[in-house]
Amino acid sequence: MKIVVAVKRVVDHNVKVRVKADETGVELANAKMSVNPFCEIAIEEAVRLKEKGVASEIIAVSVGTTQAQEQIRSALALGADRGILVETDAKAYPLQVAKILKGIAEQEGAQIVLLGKQAIDDDNNQTGQMLAALMGVGQGTFASEVVVEGDKVNVTREIDGGLQTVALPLPAVITTDLRLNEPRFPKLPNIMAAKKKPLETKTPADFGVDMTSKLETVKVVAPKERSAGVKVASVDELIDKLKNEARVI
C-alpha cells in the first residue's frame, strides 16, 4: 500500500513572528523554517504503518518554492521513500494544494493520504477536507489513532468532549492531531541517506492546477498588546477585584 504524506514548509513554531510594516503579511526573511508540526506527526504515522508492514512506500509531497526541498529531505530522513516537490512561487492556498494532492494520490494509486490537521502559519484546517471531497473518498480528521484492517481504516478522532471512531473504506484521507504519536528525531546516518533518496520536481500545471486564488489577503495586523497582570494575595482579594475593578461578576 502506498501512502502519500503532505509536508508543508512553515515558519518554525519557536520563532516569534513580526508583522511587516506594510501589513501585507509576516516577516519571513531569515526566519527559521521547518516542517509543519502536524505534518511531522503525519510522517511518523506513515513510517509506523510501514514498520508494521501495512505500507510499502511513503511519498512525501510539498507544494511551494524550491526551498521546500529541505522539508521533503527532512521527511526522507525520517523514513519516507521518495519525494515530490510541486514547485511554485505563488502562495499555496488549500484548494490549489488539495487539487495537486488529488492528482498525485490518483497518479500514484495511494490508499492513504496523510496530512496535518492544520498548518501553523495560516491555520486554515481545510486542505484535508477539500482533498477528500475532490477525491470523493472518506475523511478521518483530527486523528488520534489509525488502524488499518484489510480494505478499511479505523480512525479515532478527537472531538469536543470525547473520542469518535470512524471506519473508512480505502482509499481515504486522514489528518493528524497532536496526540496521534510522538515524532522521532532523525538519526545522522538517515539524514545522510536521505540526500540520495529520489526527489522529483513537478509544477502545478503538470496536474492542470492554476495557482490563481479566489482569496486575497486584505491585511495582517498584530494582536493588541495586553497589559501586565497583577498577583493577588487571597481569593477574597481576587473576588473583590473581579467585582469592583473588572466588574465582571
Residues that bind ligand AMP (CB under 6 A): 6-8, 36, 38-39, 42, 61-64, 92, 94, 97, 115-116, 118-119, 122, 124-128
CB burial string 142-167: b at 16+ within 10 A, e below = bbbbbebeeeebebbbbeeeeeeebe
CA angle, residues 25, 175, 187, in degrees to nearest 5 = 85
Q: Which is nearer to ligand AMP, 25 or 232 (CB)?
A: 25
Minimum CB separation from ligand AMP for residue 98, in Å? Answer: 8
Q: Which is nearer to ligand AMP, 182 or 245 (CB)?
A: 182
Give, for 212, the enclosing helix (H) or strand (E): none
Q: Which is nearer to ligand AMP, 200 or 240 (CB)?
A: 200
Identify the three-state secondary structure at position 174: strand
Q: Which is nearer to ligand AMP, 54 or 131 (CB)?
A: 131
Minimum CB separation from ligand AMP for residue 79, in Å? Answer: 16
For residues 7 and 36, is the Cβ–Cβ distance under 8 A?
Answer: yes
* Residue 248: other Cβ atoms inside 10 A: 7
Minimum CB separation from ligand AMP for residue 153, in Å? Answer: 17
Minimum CB separation from ligand AMP for residue 96, in Å? Answer: 8
Minimum CB separation from ligand AMP for residue 116, in Å? Answer: 2
Give the CA count within 13 Å in the CB-facing half-sphere of 245: 8
CA distance 173 to 5: 10
Q: Which is nearer to ligand AMP, 79 or 128 (CB)?
A: 128
Report the residue number whose CB is nearest to ligand AMP: 116
Exposed, middle or buried, 127 (CB in 10 Å: 0-12/13-18/19+)? buried
